[in-house]
Amino acid sequence: MSMGFIVGPLVVFMIFVAPLWLVLHYRSKKHVSEGLSGDDQEKLQELVARAEQMQERIVTLERILDAEVPQWRRKS
């Protein structure tokens, strides 16, 4: 085996792949550490409000079913 067989790919890796990998790695870490953007927080608040609305509707539906069909929970 010659040293050129190992050195060539190693040089290509060190010149092209490693720097690109490091840049992309630290850029993604920075993005994650910044947290939610303003738009993401707005969407999250909207989803929370919808979930609370759905919970209220479910409670209302369960009360109606409890009043009209007392045994409905046992039928499933």
Q: Kindly state the helix (H) or strand (E) to which residue 42 belongs, with its residue range.
A: helix 38-68
Please say if the pLDDT value at position 4 is more than 80.
no
Q: How far apart are CA 58 and CA 21, in angstroms?
A: 49
pLDDT at 5: 76
What is the overall mean pLDDT for the chain? 87
CB 44 within 8 A of CB 36: yes
In the chain, where the domains are located: 1-34, 36-75
CB 45 within 8 A of CB 37: no
Q: What is the pTM of this model?
A: 0.51
49-75 pLDDT per residue, tens: 999 999 999 999 999 999 999 888 887
